[in-house]
Amino acid sequence: MQFEGVVKINAVREKVWAFLIDPHAVSQCAPGINGLEILVPNSTFRARVALGLGSVKANFVMDVEFVELDAPTRAKFKAHGQAPGSAVDMVSEMILVEGPNGSTELQWTTDVHILGTIASLAARFAPSITKKLTGEFFECVKKNIET
């Protein structure tokens, strides 16, 4: 499944960049994260994520690695998560473009592959749940950066 979007943030690109590559800052906004461990500073971290799709709940351990960092313009990361009977692989990219009056346009894409028990449910529920969760995530990101 692929998802993408554009978010306008009223802050300079460097401030947006600093927030988005800080796992502790981002984890405050990411729904379902209930634990975070930095494995390699500025490179790799592990997150514990509770995910619900309909009536099925899963607790994933996600290993996340930045694979490209081009400050303050572009970042790309990959993630792999395991839960009993299920797995998730994800690649995400963000591009930050300077906007007018010190604003920033965040262009993002995510490619997600879900395997195992929750895969059949994901196909049915993921688009609507993802839209809701990404909306909540980016509203939180904007609020934290803009204030």
Note if the pTM is more than 0.75. Answer: yes
With a cut of 70, say whether residue 121 has pLDDT above it.
no
What's the CA gap between 87 and 75, in Å, rounded? 24
The residue with greater pLDDT, 139 or 123, is 139
The residue with greater pLDDT, 142 or 131, is 142
The residue with greater pLDDT, 52 or 13, is 13
Domains and CATH numbers, the chain: 2-146 (3.30.530.20)
With a cut of 90, say whether residue 58 has pLDDT above it.
no
Partners of 8 in the β-ladder: 105
Helix H or strand E encompassing 19: helix 13-20
| CA-based nearest residue to 53, from 134, 140, 123 | 123
Reduce the DSSP state of residue 119 to 3 states and report it: helix
Query: At 123, is the pLDDT very low, low, confident or very high (cuts 50, 70, 90)?
Result: low
- pLDDT given at position 1: 84
